[in-house]
């Protein structure tokens, strides 16, 4: 009869291993949640591109393109139509002015991947401001990132050693292997940074509720609301706003290079604005005995 691995019966080991794994996962998730905390507070109105950047880089660009097209500053094909007047310089945020400048140079093909790539530096600046103000989470690396997954990693290490020992002694290890697979998947999840902080999540949700009248599903009249509200609609709800204004331009902007027509606006998973909602955005800017399965 085969002896228990390490002298610990399979069922006993699995029970305590599951308890340890649950504690480790709880600790790692707590550290992940703390990383999303921020002292942010709404001190100014966010511009439409900044609101869009809370969701994705592409949505920030989409907001600016929607503003420019709604204001007839670019053509149906997204090309430069006219220079900015003094009044435009006062009312357009710096990021939208940058997008207009790039389109004027003819340097940015109207495809989402290329747009994001060519506007990388302005996008970095946009994200940096939102990180400083507590809306976006700063990417963690080195010791901070390692500490976040350390509890689960320790449990995985113990389980992996038990797995090898169980296989070597001829014990069934299926259940332990399944637990390890789940823990590895959780490690990937815990390690991944989210885009927004909890403050950013709350502000984005607030803006969506306060500006629900701008949802493309309600077919808002952007000719009446004006370019800033059109840009805010694109920032909050995606490509739908630009579709209402210029379907062909929306298709071109949303497409990937070499693709046909594009889909809707980007929304990051993973993984908001401040101020007074829509009107504010118009301003600038598992081993033991043979009966077990744990090795």
Instruction: Give the per-residue pLDDT at 87.
Output: 78
- Alpha carbon of residue 250 to chain centroid: 22
Residues forming a β-bridge with 74: 80
The SS3 call for residue 32 is helix
Whole-angstrom Cα distance, residue 266 to residue 135? 18
Instruction: Give the per-residue pLDDT at 40.
Output: 64
Token readout for 133 is 């103000």
pLDDT digit of tens for each residue in the chain (295 aa)?
456 666 678 888 889 999 999 999 998 888 877 767 766 666 789 999 999 999 999 999 999 999 999 988 887 777 777 877 777 777 899 999 999 888 877 666 677 778 888 899 999 999 999 998 989 988 766 666 778 788 999 999 999 998 888 888 777 888 889 999 999 998 888 877 788 888 999 999 999 999 999 999 999 999 889 999 999 999 999 999 999 998 888 888 876 544 333 333 333 333 333 333 333 343 434 333 333 455 5
Whole-angstrom Cα distance, residue 56 to residue 192? 16
Instruction: Give the per-residue pLDDT at 265.
Output: 36
Instruction: Give the per-residue pLDDT at 211.
Output: 96
Instruction: Give the per-residue pLDDT at 13.
Output: 87
Instruction: Give the per-residue pLDDT at 112.
Output: 77
Closest CA to 193 of 140, 135, 272: 140
Instruction: Give the per-residue pLDDT at 32.
Output: 77
Closest CA to 159 of 28, 32, 2, 8: 8
CB 81 within 8 A of CB 106: no
């Amino acid at each position: 009869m085969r002896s228990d691995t390490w002298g610990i019966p399979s069922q006993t080991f699995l029970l305590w291993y599951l308890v340890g794994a649950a504690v480790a996962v709880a600790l790692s998730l707590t550290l992940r949640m703390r990383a999303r905390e921020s002292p942010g507070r709404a001190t100014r109105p966010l511009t439409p591109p900044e609101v869009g950047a809370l969701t994705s880089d592409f949505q920030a660009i989409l907001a600016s393109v929607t503003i420019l097209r709604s204001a007839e500053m670019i053509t149906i094909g997204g090309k430069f139509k006219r220079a900015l007047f003094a009044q435009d310089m006062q009312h357009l945020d710096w990021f939208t002015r940058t997008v207009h400048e790039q389109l004027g140079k003819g340097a940015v093909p109207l495809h989402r991947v290329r747009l994001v790539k060519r506007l990388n530096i302005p996008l970095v600046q946009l994200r940096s401001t939102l990180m400083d103000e507590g809306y976006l989470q700063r990417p963690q690396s080195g010791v901070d990132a390692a500490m976040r997954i350390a509890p689960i990693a320790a449990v995985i290490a113990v389980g992996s050693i038990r797995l090898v020992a169980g296989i070597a002694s001829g014990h069934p290890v299926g259940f332990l292997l399944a637990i390890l697979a789940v823990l590895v998947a959780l490690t990937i999840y815990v390690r991944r940074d989210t885009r927004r902080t909890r403050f950013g999540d709350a502000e984005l949700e607030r803006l969506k509720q306060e500006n629900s009248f701008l949802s493309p599903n309600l077919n808002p009249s952007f000719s009446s609301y004006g370019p800033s509200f059109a840009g805010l609609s694109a920032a909050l709800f995606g490509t739908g706003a630009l579709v209402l204004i210029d379907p062909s331009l929306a298709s071109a902007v949303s497409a990937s290079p070499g693709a046909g027509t594009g889909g809707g606006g980007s929304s990051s998973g993973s993984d908001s604005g401040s101020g007074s909602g829509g009107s504010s955005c118009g301003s600038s800017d598992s081993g033991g005995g043979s009966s077990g399965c744990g090795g």
